[in-house]
Structure 1
Amino acid sequence: MLGLAPVAGRPLRLALLGAHCDDVEIGCGGLVLDLAARGALGEVDVLVLASEPAREAESQAALAAFCAPATPAVRFGGLADGRLPGHWNETKDLLQDWAVACRAADVVLAPSPADAHQDHRLLGELVRTAFRDHLVLHYEIPKWDGDLGSARPSVYWPLTAEQLGRKYALLSEHYPSQRGHDWFREDTFRGLARLRGMECRADYAEAFGCPALVLRLS
């Protein structure tokens, strides 16, 4: 088992990429909460491509709560939900510009290139064109499309029941616009986390794909 350790005695710097407001918190919110609670979360840069003002306000509050006491630097692209492939140039430009600003990130977390949702999939495909020398982890998002078997996870972040409960409580508190969706339920997130936990001998876990990993002896 490999561990993720702070670099040179400092907290980890994260770059978090989402297609929509709430993607980051659903996909890797438990990891972020755990790092923050351990005092291991340093600079946090976030880019959300598809957004509109009401959802941006939800996202700002949610990300602040997940990252506390760290303060995330959040950018929004203001592009149309469900239409990112039709805005390929704008998406690519926003991603490249953001990548320059957070080049010092230790870990980049982004949607999966195997995700069935076109917005998620595009970002999953483009992220490594902007972050060629970084550790990139692709998170998963449960949805109606039923795509969770399309990419087998290779990286796990174990979570406790308390951490998972905190993750859902913050999602529910800060995203009232999503509460009416039948997938936006605690048992949805808990069920997936329990399955991933079983796969890594933990109570619960978030799971990720890793396209490339470079090992060095330091």
Structure 2
Amino acid sequence: MLRLPLGPGRPLRLALLGAHCDDVEIGCGGLLLDLAGRGALERVDVLVASSTPDREVEARAALAAFCAPAVPAVRFGGLPDGRMPGHWSAVKDLLQEFAAGSTPDVVLAPSPADAHQDHRLLGELVRTAFRDHLVLHYEIPKYDGDLGATRPQTYWPLTPELVRRKYALLHEHYASQRGHDWFREDTFTALARLRGMECRSDYAEAFASPAVTLGWAGG
């Protein structure tokens, strides 16, 4: 069992892993906005494995907006999009170096059941670098239709305002993605509504996780 201490005045340290720029914000942007708005973020470390200079500019601005007033420490791997399995050793090294410099309460990463090869590899390797941490695997809607592959056990309820804010920030900061037909408000809202229905909330983000023990900080 992995224990996550929760309690008043106990801000969290997060490690966020994305295969690509925008993965983190799509997968757990609502959770970030909620925690940030509550003043519940102590430290946020981010690793994005695949990136280009133009998209790194977008990601830095987006992550800063999602985490404010916390200031995320962001690292980019610069690996080519869609080719991460061919750079297995480089991905492994990035993860190990990232883990060595991070002391998170919670790690958020793509799912090892994700149909996209880059997401899947990062999801498979994250537990080799973060062996003694609570890892939550987020989901990303895509053409592959793989949402049924990962059965979520953990939910973070979201208000309608947080869902609207999440998409507004995605649209504002990721101009490079606006032309894609999946990059729409109703795509993200529909998934959040479905996950909300599953946990008796208006909206939610969902995660796959190992066994978790929850307890108040200090005993």
Shorter-chain TM band:
over 0.9
In the alignment, which residue of structure 2 is the partner of 1:176?
175
Compute the displacement of 1:193 (Å): 0.3
The Cα offsets for residues 194-218 of structure 1, whole Å up to 9 and x where unpaired, read as 0000000000000000034246683
In the alignment, which residue of structure 2 is the partner of 1:209?
208
Give me the TM-score of the superposition, normalised by structure 2. 0.94
- Cα gap change, 1:202/1:86 in structure 2, threshold over 3 Å: closer, same or farther? same
Higher strand proportion (structure 1 or 2): 2
Give me the TM-score of the superposition, normalised by structure 1. 0.95
- Residues 30, 163 of structure 2: 8 Å contact kept: yes
Structure 1 distance, partners of 2:110, 2:178, is 22
- Residues 192, 204 of structure 2: 8 Å contact kept: yes
The Cα offsets for residues 36-62 of structure 1, whole Å up to 9 and x where unpaired, read as 000111100000000000000000000
In the alignment, which residue of structure 1 is the partner of 2:82?
82
- Cα gap change, 1:146/1:119 in structure 2, threshold over 3 Å: closer, same or farther? same
Q: Which structure 1 residue ranges, 4+ long, deviate > 4 Å from structure 2? A: 4-8, 214-217
SS of residue in 2 equivalent to 1:149: helix
In the alignment, which residue of structure 2 is the partner of 1:16?
16
SS of residue in 1 equivalent to 2:148: coil
In the alignment, which residue of structure 2 is the partner of 1:72?
72
In the alignment, which residue of structure 2 is the partner of 1:137?
136
SS of residue in 2 equivalent to 1:70: coil
SS of residue in 1 equivalent to 2:136: strand
Structure 1 distance, partners of 2:81, 2:10, is 37
Write the letter of the residue equivalent to 2:67. C
SS of residue in 1 equivalent to 2:212: coil
Structure 1 portions without partners, runs of 5+ = none
The Cα offsets for residues 105-128 of structure 1, whole Å up to 9 and x where unpaired, read as 000000000000000000100000
Structure 1 distance, partners of 2:100, 2:157, is 31
Structure 2 distance, partners of 1:6, 1:12, is 9
Structure 1 vs Structure 2: percent identity of aligned residues? Answer: 77
Structure 1 distance, partners of 2:124, 2:156, is 23
Structure 2 distance, partners of 1:8, 1:101, is 26
- Residues 64, 72 of structure 2: 8 Å contact kept: yes
In the alignment, which residue of structure 2 is the partner of 1:92?
92
- Residues 6, 40 of structure 1: 8 Å contact kept: no
Write the letter of the residue equivalent to 1:88. W
SS of residue in 2 equivalent to 1:205: strand
Q: How many residues align?
A: 214
RMSD (Å), alpha carbons:
1.4
Structure 2 distance, partners of 1:8, 1:136, is 22
Structure 2 portions without partners, runs of 5+ = none
Write the letter of the residue equivalent to 1:148. L
- Residues 5, 215 of structure 2: 8 Å contact kept: no
Structure 2 distance, partners of 1:121, 1:8, is 35
